Structure 1
């Protein structure tokens, strides 16, 4: 399976791009804190999808989708922290993108589960 053709991978790459842009506005004091953490969590999402796609079967792929979901939840929490600390304003487009990626991850996981 080519991960680059999966809607969930494509959307998660869009999410990485958005997070990198928005985290550029964080204070310099957060360079090794929240900025680094939110970027690592975001990059982990498409990375886990890609790694799962390269594994030998759907069961392993599903485990990597769970890791991607965990990273997405981590990202969502870090986004909310950045909003509460007034590093950024609430961003409806970003929130929709986060929800889209979550919906796609869950849907793809369910699809692979049915194929087991």
Structure 2
């Protein structure tokens, strides 16, 4: 959830041309990560939950790609980029480990 807030704060600084483009896509991906995990907890089996974790992980990788694009477009500093990409990478590892435990 903290990552969602950080992404929203970042995308508010993007140029107006990105309002309905990259900024919107990054916000949706960020929200999708915890949303899929939350929805998956309501499922009746680990197999179903695992599918939602896969979707969450996919959104995390998608967000990482979009962050790379934003950095290349100079929408954030190298320091901001490094902090956010490290956070995303840690989240990817956590979701992957959780998926592995579910089987």
TMscore range, shorter length? over 0.9
Unpaired runs of 5+ in structure 1? 1-12
Structure 1 stretches of at least 4 aligned residues deviating more than 4 Å after TM superposition: none
Offset of residue 92 of structure 1 = 2.0
Q: 1:42 aligns with which of 2, 27, 30?
A: 30
**Can you list the C-alpha shifts for 1:78-109, whole angstroms capped at 9, x where unaligned?**
00000011111232221221011001100100
Contact 2:67 2:85 in 1 (8 A): no
Partner of 2:94: 104
Unpaired runs of 5+ in structure 2? none
TM-score of the superposed pair, with normalisation by structure 1: 0.84
Length, aligned pairs only: 101
Q: 1:73 aligns with which of 23, 37, 61?
A: 61
Contact 2:39 2:52 in 1 (8 A): yes
